């Protein structure tokens, strides 16, 4: 288990939602204070506002990717590259877990979870680290 995964798990145990736990474990990388990143990702929990849609863990990972990849509002040219990076994150997460949908991951309809929240958080952090290294957005 990487230090970043350990940090994300610690945050989740403190009550951070899945998106917050993932994103806030990358505060040092995105150079954003934890309180701000916590606030930015708060609505992503429970599959976006508790609606059981896109998994909060992978949403938090995509938020980090956007913070690192975007060139900012003055450029408005980085969207395609940011979307491409997010697509890779989502694809790898789906490949590992069979879904990116919170409700499906938790097994709400079937009674058989595909992955626990802790497992999704771990996977999202590991995948994000891997993808950011491949994209040369982090060196760690």
Give the separation between CA 25 and CA 78, rounded to whole angstroms.
24
How does pLDDT run across 36-49, given as a tens digit for each residue? 999 999 999 999 99
In this prediction, residue 140 carries a pLDDT of: 67
Q: Please state, rounded to an integer, the average pLDDT across all residues of the chain.
A: 95
Beta carbons of 101 and 54 less than 8 angstroms apart: yes
> Residue 54: beta bridge partners?
101
Judge whether residue 128 has pLDDT over 90. yes
In this prediction, residue 3 carries a pLDDT of: 97
Structure tokens at 124: 């999202």
In this prediction, residue 127 carries a pLDDT of: 98
| Rounded average pLDDT over 128-135 | 96
pTM: 0.95
In the chain, where the domains are located? 3-134
How does pLDDT run across 70-117, given as a tens digit for each residue? 988 877 788 999 999 999 999 999 999 999 999 999 999 999 999 999
| Rounded average pLDDT over 25-54 | 96
Structure tokens at 68: 């690192």
Residues 6+ apart with CB under 8 A from 130: 92
In this prediction, residue 76 carries a pLDDT of: 77
Closest CA to 61 of 96, 39, 87, 36: 87
In this prediction, residue 14 carries a pLDDT of: 98
Query: DSSP secondary structure string, the chain?
Result: --HHHHHHHHHHHTT--HHHHHHHTTHHHHT--HHHHHHHHGGGTTTTTTSS-B-HHHHHHHHHHHHHH---TTT---HHHHHHHHHHHHHHHHHHHS-SBHHHHHTTTTS--SS-HHHHHHHHHHHHHHHHHHTTS---
């Amino acid at each position: 288990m990487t230090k970043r995964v350990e940090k994300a798990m610690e945050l989740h145990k403190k009550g951070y939602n899945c998106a917050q736990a993932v994103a806030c474990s990358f505060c040092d990388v995105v150079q954003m204070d934890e309180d701000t990143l916590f606030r930015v990702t708060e609505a992503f929990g429970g599959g976006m506002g508790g609606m059981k849609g896109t998994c909060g863990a992978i949403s938090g990972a995509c938020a980090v990717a956007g913070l690192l990849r975007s060139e900012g509002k003055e450029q408005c040219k980085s969207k395609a590259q940011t979307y491409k990076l997010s697509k890779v994150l989502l694809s790898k997460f789906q490949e590992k877990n069979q879904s990116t949908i919170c409700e499906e991951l938790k097994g709400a309809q079937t009674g058989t979870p595909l992955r626990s929240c802790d497992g999704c958080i771990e996977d999202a952090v590991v995948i994000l680290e891997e993808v950011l290294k491949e994209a040369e957005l982090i060196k760690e």
